[in-house]
Amino acid sequence: MCGIVGIVGKTPVAQSLYDGLTVIQHRGQDAAGIMTIDQNMFNLRKANGLVRDVFHTRHMKRLSGNMGIGHVRYPTAGTSSSAEAQPFYVNSPFGIAFAHNGNLTNAHDLQEEVFRIARRHINTTSDSELLLNILAHELQQVAGLSVTAEHIFEVVTKVHKKIRGAYAVVAAIIGQGIVAFRDPHGIRPLALGKRMTELGEEWMVASESVALDAVGFQFIRDVSPGEAVYITENGELHTRQCAENPITSPCIFEFVYFARPDSFIDGISVYASRVNMGRRLGEKIAREWSDLDIDVVIPIPETSMDVALQIANTLELPYRQGFVKNRYIGRTFIMPGQTMRKKSVRRKLNAISSEFKGKNVLLVDDSIVRGTTSGQIIEMARESGAKKVYFASAAPEIRFPNVYGIDMPSANELIAYGREIDQIADLIQADGLIFQDITDLVEAVREENDSIQRFETSVFDGNYITGDVDQDYLERIDISRGEKSREAPILQAELSNLDMHNIDSND
């Protein structure tokens, strides 16, 4: 679920890009990068790691210039190699730096086309490098010695026709400006903001509005699904709808888990949607478990806290913090590899025994995906002396792989795949287990903006809105990206031999 930022400023932008990336760090913990443009030169720093570890003072000094883009990566295609960290770069036409959040579903077909039609070489297995080369090829076809807004809109229109899947993109074209666009379904989010300075207007795009807040940009609006935004290096804004049939269908998992609660996506407060999820799930618990003897509601930090508090309010039960989160450990779900995810749960969360001893507890999480967290947390609650442990999930059962930028390529890894609720409860050792209904989840989010008719809900119902995902496709990604394929260390080592950058991004 990577995060992207881009700024066209009047003064150096590196610090704002850095600060913007730190507040969307929750979208990707594997790699980070910033590319700026100064006097007709790109400056790049990217590497594996968190934002605070990748950029040191010496890198920040090198990232001069008033225009630039940044990325935090959560790999959902290709490998975790630093060669696939973003931004990516191509030298023609003009020189383009590029960052992408999402996942293409027709990357396989495009790969061949890029070589056959454009004679372009892709040096990684990243779908984002592919997308950059398609964009570059189309720009090459239309632009002369400079780029106009018309060129950009023509190019994005063509790109929409060629590629399928989820993409929110920002690209900086040297000597010209920054272009940003969102796929015609608007699966991944993208917000536009403005900052007034004495020297004039500065513009920023970012995956989440919270990144704009953090660096003093005022949220203007979401980039519409299918729309392209072009900001010239002088700060003129041009926008146009470039998709023939845009249908707003944002990914519902952004609201369940990915986005920060203080962000607004497509006019919806992520926080308010989570409170609604809590209310609706609380009502379901009251309806279906009226005879249950719950003493206390306890959240599983961090994302479920807003939901759990509302469940407690709805059920008129006490809400207590039974687990303490180690603030130096990030999100476990977006870590690569099941071994690392499993180990991290206990390092990340520790129980306060007194909150469990002799009590019947209702544990609340935003979602149960592989069951890594819930299984271990229930064990911890019992070790701490809980009498009974009930479990509630603010999202419905996740039974289908994700192909749009969440790393769940294989149904077999999902604990709810092929299982009924009581079988899942047995596996995680819960005394009772309840999931939100899909209609309630959708309505909880829609309550905040009922003009949105549809959400991307494939992980719950197997309905892939881009219309190009069939069983064959799912089997292919299962083989290429499933847990087994990632356990092949040779592949990783071989690929890191190809860590080549034509701009210095190292120390």
Ligand X SMILES: O=P(O)(O)OC[C@H]1O[C@H](OP(=O)(O)OP(=O)(O)O)[C@H](O)[C@@H]1O
Contact of residue 75 among Mg ion, ligand GLN, ligand X, none (CB under 5-8 Å per partner type): ligand GLN
Dist. CA 399–CA 413, nearest whole Å: 9
E-state strands within 401-454? 432-435
- Separation of first and last alpha carbons in the chain: 27
The half-sphere exposure of 216 on its side-chain side, counting CA atoms within 13 A, is: 9
12's tokens: 């150096």
Site map 388..427 versus ligand GLN, x via CB under 6 A: -----------------x----------------------
Strands 388-393 and 432-435: parallel
366 marked as binding residue: yes
Dist. CA 405–CA 185, nearest whole Å: 14
The contacts of residue 293 (CB under 8 Å, 6+ apart) are 360, 388
Q: Which stretch binds ligand X (CB under 6 A): 199-207, 223-231, 270-278, 295-303?
A: 295-303
Nearer to ligand X, 302 or 443 (CB): 302
Contact of residue 257 among Mg ion, ligand X, ligand GLN, none (CB under 5-8 Å per partner type): ligand X
Which of 84, 178, 186, 94 lies closest to 130, judged by CA?
84
Q: Phi and psi at residue 446, in whole multiples of 5°?
A: -65, -25
Strands 296-299 and 360-365: parallel
Name which position in 79, 105, 176, 332 contacts ligand X (CB under 6 A): 332
Catalytic (active site) residue 242: no
Please report whether residue 331 would count as binding ligand X according to CB under 6 A.
Answer: yes
Contact of residue 176 among Mg ion, ligand X, ligand GLN, none (CB under 5-8 Å per partner type): none
Residues from 235 through 274 that contact ligand X (CB under 6 A): 257
Site map 352..391 versus ligand X, x via CB under 6 A: -------------xxxxxxxxxx-----------------
Judge whether 102 and 167 are in contact, CB under 8 Å.
Answer: yes
Strands 360-365 and 388-393: parallel
Shortest CB 302 distance to ligand X, Å: 4
Q: Which stretch binds ligand X (CB under 6 A): 54-62, 145-153, 301-309, 452-460?
A: 301-309
303 marked as binding residue: yes
Tell me the CA distances in angstroms from 108 to 95, 131, 216, 400, 473, one per residue in order.
25, 12, 41, 21, 10
Shortest CB 166 distance to ligand X, Å: 20
Crossing angle of helices 127-142 and 149-162, rounded to 10°: 130
Please report whether residue 319 would count as binding ligand GLN according to CB under 6 A.
Answer: no
Shortest CB 63 distance to ligand GLN, Å: 21
Residues from 94 through 153 that contact ligand GLN (CB under 6 A): 100-103, 126-128
Name which position in 2, 35, 54, 72 contacts ligand GLN (CB under 6 A): 2
Name which position in 16, 29, 76, 124 contacts ligand GLN (CB under 6 A): 76
Q: Which of 2, 152, 178, 210 is catalytic?
A: 2
Please report whether residue 240 would count as binding ligand GLN according to CB under 6 A.
Answer: no
Name which position in 72, 77, 156, 442 contacts ligand GLN (CB under 6 A): 77
Dist. CA 152–CA 138, nearest whole Å: 9
83's tokens: 């060669």
365 marked as binding residue: yes
Tell me the CA distances in angstroms from 274 to 79, 190, 366, one per residue in order.
32, 20, 9
Dist. CA 271–CA 31, nearest whole Å: 27
The neighbour count for residue 504, using CB atoms within 10 Å, is: 10
Q: Which stretch binds ligand X (CB under 6 A): 143-151, 194-202, 299-307, 446-454?
A: 299-307
Dist. CA 273–CA 310, nearest whole Å: 11
- Give the CB-nearest residue to ligand GLN: 2
Binding region for ligand GLN (CB under 6 A): 1-2, 73-78, 84, 100-103, 126-128, 405
| Binding residue numbers for Mg(2+) | 303, 365-366
Give the footprint of ligand X on this chain (CB under 6 A): 257, 300-303, 331-334, 365-374
Q: Which residues are annotated as a binding site?
A: 303, 365-366
Residues annotated as part of the active site: 2
